[in-house]
Amino acid sequence: MREITYRQALNEALDEELAHDENVCIIGEEVAQYNGAYKVTEGLWDKWGDKRVIDAPISEAGFIGMGIGASMLGVRPVMELMFFSFAYVAFDQMMNNAATVRYMSGGLINVPIVVRGPANGGTNVGATHSHTPENIFANMPGLKVVSPATPYDAKGLLKQSIRDNDPVYFMENTLLYGEKGPVPDNDELPGGELLIPLGKAEVKREGSDISLIAHGRAVISCLKTAEMLKEQHDIDAEVVDLRSIRPLDEETILESVRKTNRAVYVEENKPFCGIGAQIASTIQEKVFDYLDAPVLRISSVDSPAIYSPPLEKKQLPYPEMIVERVLTIC
């Protein structure tokens, strides 16, 4: 199977969906002639033209609001944010409008919009460009939140998100854009294309001693941690990738914990009211009798993103630190 980068996988997904449905368009800052701030949309403006790939001014409140309005009329816009931190500028539209229109219209009006872009720290761009707001958006009923860790998942989940009739906030990581992974050609797939259902987690590594549960780039850290645990301490860790934060695949998480009897949630989100709090609560409520140790949460240090490169590396969970914490409950 070929290997492509996370960036290429996203690009392929966008290209295929532009071809699949004439109502799909891409809107965002520098997505057209400039090929995207991170080159995710490279070549798409040349191929599809001004009507399908549209540059927006530096006004997130303006173009996100426009995209939501267009989606209510049948367009399927994919809105690129240069940083998901800038979503706060369009918070009213994204939370108060997009999330509630279908409910308040009695199901008569859908909002099939995707808002995508990087939601991560670790790139030394300061506190205002390094937010991880997946927990904030997942808190709102009516929204779907996706965070792929691999090129395979990035392509399959983005294609499915574009076809979804509800707003999907698709959170990527700039540190993953250049990472390679296996992604099959369409002619290798039974249905001729890669589609991954939203709300379906995946066990990325089978194990028997402890469940490492994560989303986004933290999944990659957990896979490295699992190898270190096996080599250094003969601990066999299972790694569960949420892939989709909301809807949440509870059963895959619970099934893993029933098998291993120990659970750690690892995230680059902040700890207070983070995704890990929801997962820990779910495990404690539903499979408490299977636990041989308390559920452990490992997250980013609870402070604004640190600008200093060596310090910011220590602010986010990294394999050596995860190993050290895991040993406290194994």
Looking at residue 190, its pLDDT comes to 87
Helix (H) or strand (E) holding 210: strand 210-214
- Phi-psi domain of 158 (left: phi exceeds 0; alpha: psi -120 through 50; beta: other): alpha
- Evaluate whether 192 touches 20 at the Cβ level (below 8 Å): no
| Sequential pLDDT tens for the chain (330 residues) | 899 999 999 999 999 999 999 999 999 999 999 999 999 999 999 999 999 999 999 999 999 999 999 999 999 999 999 999 999 999 999 999 999 999 999 999 999 999 999 999 999 999 999 999 999 999 999 999 999 999 999 999 999 999 999 999 999 999 999 999 999 999 999 889 999 999 999 999 999 999 999 999 999 999 999 999 999 999 999 999 999 999 999 999 999 999 999 999 999 999 999 999 999 999 999 999 999 999 999 999 999 999 999 999 899 999 999 999 999 999
How many Å apart are CA 141 and CA 249, to the nearest integer?
Answer: 16
60 catalytically annotated: yes
The full length of the chain comes to 330
Tell me whether domains 3-188 and 202-326 share a fold: yes
- Evaluate whether 266 touches 221 at the Cβ level (below 8 Å): yes
Closest CA to 216 of 264, 162, 268, 180: 268
Please, which contacts does 95-104 make with residues 24 or more away whose CB atoms are closer than 8 Å? 95/137, 95/140, 95/143, 97/65, 97/68, 98/68, 98/71, 98/142, 98/143, 98/167, 99/140, 99/141, 99/142, 99/143, 99/167, 100/142, 101/68, 101/72, 102/142, 102/166, 103/141, 103/142
**How many other CB atoms sit within 10 Å of the CB of residue 252?**
17
Closest CA to 122 of 290, 321, 310: 310
Looking at residue 1, its pLDDT comes to 86
Catalytic: which of 17, 80, 129, 215? 129
How many Å apart are CA 128 and CA 59, to the nearest integer?
Answer: 16
The answer as to CATH 3.30.2130.30 being correct for domain 202-326 is: no
**Residues contacting 311, CB < 8 A, separation 6+:** none
Looking at residue 301, its pLDDT comes to 94
How many Å apart are CA 62 and CA 85, to the nearest integer?
Answer: 16
Domain boundary assignment for the chain: 3-188, 202-326
Looking at residue 88, its pLDDT comes to 96
Closest CA to 97 of 60, 77, 68: 68
Looking at residue 316, its pLDDT comes to 95
Q: What are phi and psi of 201, to 5 degrees?
A: -75, 170
DSSP 39-108: STTTTHHHHH-TTTEEE--S-HHHHHHHHHHHHHTT-EEEEEPSSGGGGGGGHIIIIIITTTHHHHTTTS
Angle at the Cα of 312 from the Cα atoms of 309 and 317, rounded to 5 degrees = 135
How many Å apart are CA 196 and CA 48, to the nearest integer?
Answer: 25
Looking at residue 327, its pLDDT comes to 97
Q: What's the pTM value of the predicted model, to 2 decimals?
A: 0.96
Angle at the Cα of 231 from the Cα atoms of 226 and 232, rounded to 5 degrees = 100
How many Å apart are CA 218 and CA 149, to the nearest integer?
Answer: 8
Catalytic: which of 16, 17, 29, 60? 60
172 catalytically annotated: no
How many Å apart are CA 121 and CA 268, to the nearest integer?
Answer: 8
**Domain 3-188, what architecture?**
3-Layer(aba) Sandwich (3.40)
